[in-house]
Chain A
Amino acid sequence: AQSVSQHNHHVILSEAASLELGCNYSYGGTVNLFWYVQYPGQHLQLLLKYFSGDPLVKGIKGFEAEFIKSKFSFNLRKPSVQWSDTAEYFCAVNGWATDSWGKLQFGAGTQVVVTP
């Protein structure tokens, strides 16, 4: 069975600092990878996704993620965070298998707090 591991449960940083959130998955086959974000009081929404092609993916609000197949990783980055980036971030993986119908497996999430 596939699993998703997010390295940090809580991250606190100051505005303008750089952010990197780790995500590793366990699945040997073809995968599709996602980062979702949940701002306080809002729905889960998609930040970015990787299906194929360039392993460096750019998403909304200045976020990017890099897929490193050899490391089974899909880390999220933002060079300079803003107070409005305070949110919970979820990594999700969809591994292709005959019995999975492409269902999403989520990590436990990382709560990011950006201080002014």
Chain B
Amino acid sequence: EAEVAQSPRYKITEKSQAVAFWCDPISGHATLYWYRQILGQGPELLVQFQDESVVDDSQLPKDRFSAERLKGVDSTLKIQPAELGDSAMYLCASSLLWAGSSYEQYFGPGTRLTVT
């Protein structure tokens, strides 16, 4: 069964350092999502791509976070500089179309970030 791949699975970094996460969606999925999940809370959407275009980044802290999906396939989420409050699980998901259609979102295993 096809899965969403993410790497690394775990990342420990010092504050003020740069960190990057990678996501490879299920083949053929046009929509890609990055979520942040803080312990004890549900996932919160950071950015949504339709192919290579950003369609929603309203919750992305753009002063330090950036995301790209240059060829409309895999994607990278970057944080620079990292802050203590960025410690969280970063989830990537993909779907054939957006969540409002009949296509569900498939989630990857996530990257657990700890900022020290």
Contact = CB atoms under 8 A, between A and B. Distances in A.
Interface of A: 4, 9, 32, 34, 36, 43-46, 49, 51, 90, 92, 94, 96, 100-104, 106-109
B48 A103 contact: yes
B100 A106 contact: no
Nearest to A109: B42
Interface of B: 3-4, 33, 40-45, 48, 50, 55-56, 91, 93, 98-102, 104-105, 107-110
Contact of A46 (B41, B42, B56, B104): B104
B100 A102 contact: yes
17 contacts: A4-B42, A34-B104, A43-B109, A44-B93, A44-B107, A45-B107, A51-B102, A96-B100, A102-B100, A103-B45, A103-B98, A104-B99, A104-B105, A106-B42, A106-B43, A106-B44, A109-B41
Given A43-B4, A46-B105, A90-B42, 9 more contacts: A32-B100, A43-B109, A44-B43, A44-B107, A46-B104, A49-B104, A101-B50, A102-B100, A104-B99
